[in-house]
Amino acid sequence: MRASLFALALLALAACSSPVKVGLPNADWNDGGRIPGRYAATIQSGAWRKDISAEGFACGGWTFPTDADGAYAVAMKKALDDNFESVTLTPEMKPADLAAQGYDASIIVYQGAFDTRLLIVEQAYWTFGAEASVGMSGIVALVGPGGLIGQASPEGSGARRGKIALCDDAGPMISTASRMALMGFIQNATREARALATTTR
């Protein structure tokens, strides 16, 4: 009887998932004021969504559908606005069209890897802890009327650990780790874009 109840509980737990909402990262970063000029910006999005599964015996069947895309697109645009005089979101443009439309250059940010890991460990007898770590990488490029000016590969990472009472409690840790990774990626991408734009001026 007890075995049946345990099996039923395991099955019920296996079917669970907790959607993770990633909040807006604080990506305020500005070093030396806004760079003058009119820039077109293409921010790729749609790639940083995935189901994260827990590693370890506990919560092994639990999944955490995580969507970092929404927060990323908004925060990336804001970071560019804070660092460049004029930024307009556009589809990817041909270099020859930039000057014709009055842009000095185009900033393109491609999404790359979205590495995640959620480890559930037993810290003491029936006391569990969760360790969430997230890594993000991508490519930032500056394209001028004469073609590609330069490109760089920014990265960001974040980690969060803590005690959990229920599997569901690991969700906020994934969210925090993702937000930290986004913040690092956006700051690095903006820093690289600034460096590329500065070299051309």
Partner 1 sequence: MHYPKPRHKCETHKTQRREESGDSRGVAACAIRVVNKWMGDQMRSGRIAGLAAIVLAALVLAGCAQRQSQNVYKYDEVGQASAVTFGTIVASREVDITGKNTGTGGLVGAAVGAGAGSYAGSGSGNAWAISAGLLAGAVAGALIEQAAADRTGVEYVVMLQSGVALTVVQDIGKGESTLPDGMRVMVQNTGGYQRVLPAEALPTQMARPKGIELVD
User: Any contact of residue 33 with partner 1 (CB under 8 A)?
Assistant: no
Are 99 and 78 in contact by the 8 Å Cβ rule? The answer is: no
- Min dist CB 43 to partner 1, Å, is 10
Rounded-to-integer distance, Cα 30 and Cα 71, Å? 19
Q: Which residues contact 33 (CB under 8 A, 6 or more apart)?
A: none
- Alpha-carbon gap, residue 143 to 105, rounded angstroms: 6
Does 122 participate in binding partner 1 (rule CB under 8 A)? no
**Neighbour count for residue 5 (Cβ, 10 Å):** 9
Place of tokens 């109840």: 5
151 binds partner 1 (CB under 8 A): yes
| Residue 86 CB, nearest approach to partner 1 (Å) | 20
Q: What are the backbone angles phi and psi of residue 137, rounded to the nearest 5°? A: -145, 165
What's the min distance (Å) between Cβ of 137 and partner 1? Answer: 8
The contacts of residue 91 (CB under 8 Å, 6+ apart) are 42
Residue 114 interacting with partner 1 (CB under 8 A): yes
Q: Is 81 in the site for partner 1 (CB under 8 A)?
A: no
- Contact with partner 1 (CB under 8 A) among 18, 83, 111, 190: 111
Contact present, 23 and 75 (Cβ < 8 Å): no
Site mask, partner 1, residues 129-148, x = CB under 8 A? -------x--x-x-x---xx
Closest CA to 69 of 85, 50, 95: 50
Q: Which span sits near partner 1 by CB under 8 A: 28-36, 42-50, 77-85, 181-189?
A: 42-50
Answer for which of 106, 133, 187, 188 binds partner 1 (CB under 8 A) is 106
Regarding 110 and contact with partner 1 (CB under 8 A), the answer is: yes
Binding positions for partner 1, rule: CB under 8 A: 42, 44-51, 63, 65, 92, 95, 106, 108, 110-115, 136, 139, 141, 143, 147-148, 151
